[in-house]
Amino acid sequence: MSRPGPTETCVEGLGLHSGAQSRVVLRRRPGPVRLEARGVEARIEQLTVVSTSRATTVEAHGGALRVATVEHAFAALAGLGVYEGVALAVDGPEMPFVDGGCATWCDALDRLRLTPGRPRLRVAREAAVEIGASRYEFRPGPRVEIEVRLELEGFDESQVVPEARWHGDAADFRLRIATARTFVLARHIDELVAGGLARHVDPESVVVLAPDAVLHAGRPFSPDEPARHKLLDLVGDLFTSGGPPLGRLRAVRPGHAANALAAARARAEGIVVAD
């Protein structure tokens, strides 16, 4: 029998949008995953998505608990199958951006040696949910299968491969999905700067895409990295509603706002049910 890991570990760094220093202590604790901020604690199922402007912000207890940019940490939890046994205590307005993906979060969870569990939801029937220009196709199945397709105008597949897939395997998630960095289109940079967003970001943690060039620093860029990151975001957003579910989900043009609305509709309409 392997020895238990440490009872707690820490992830810290600057927030993507606030630029504020943030520190998250992850503690082993019996029961469902919990989020804590300013001394207020909530289970994941108690959280409500209150903003999806370039990131996912959640609240609970009438706004007494509010944390922004949760999707990367939640993606690590979902990708590794961690539905219980840990609490995340956040000191700061948003989660730290760290590596631009969720590899740092996966490493932190690995240090705690948590026991993975089965998904709490399953796809009960075949159906499609359309949210504006986004489409989410659900089909029952025995394992988690997620597929995303991007539609980026002005880019061909030699620059950006539009599709990415993940079949629910934790080791594969760590290797391919967790390492996919946040990306931004070059034409949106001025808008972000004018809005005071994405301050103090490490250039190695972000990929900037332009039709005539892919701008990046640090580790090499792969043409399917943007699609893999969109898949990462989708997995993290699904965790907020209890997912991802057992079964197949194909998302065309996913985004934080559409992800949240599609997940809520799928639960409300009985497409996705508690397992």
Active site residues: 256
Rg (CA), the chain: 18
Cα gap 81→169, rounded to integer Å: 9
Contact of 102 with 178, CB cutoff 8 Å:
yes
DSSP 96-143: B-TTSSSHHHHHHHHHHTPPP---SEEE-S-EEEEETTEEEEEE--SS
Cα gap 233→260, rounded to integer Å: 11
- AA letter at 217: A
Provide the 10 A C-beta neighbour count for residue 250: 18
DSSP 77-94: HHHTT--EEEEEEEESSB
Contact of 33 with 77, CB cutoff 8 Å:
yes
Cα gap 160→178, rounded to integer Å: 18
Cα gap 74→56, rounded to integer Å: 10
Torsions phi, psi for 134 (to 5 deg): -95, 150
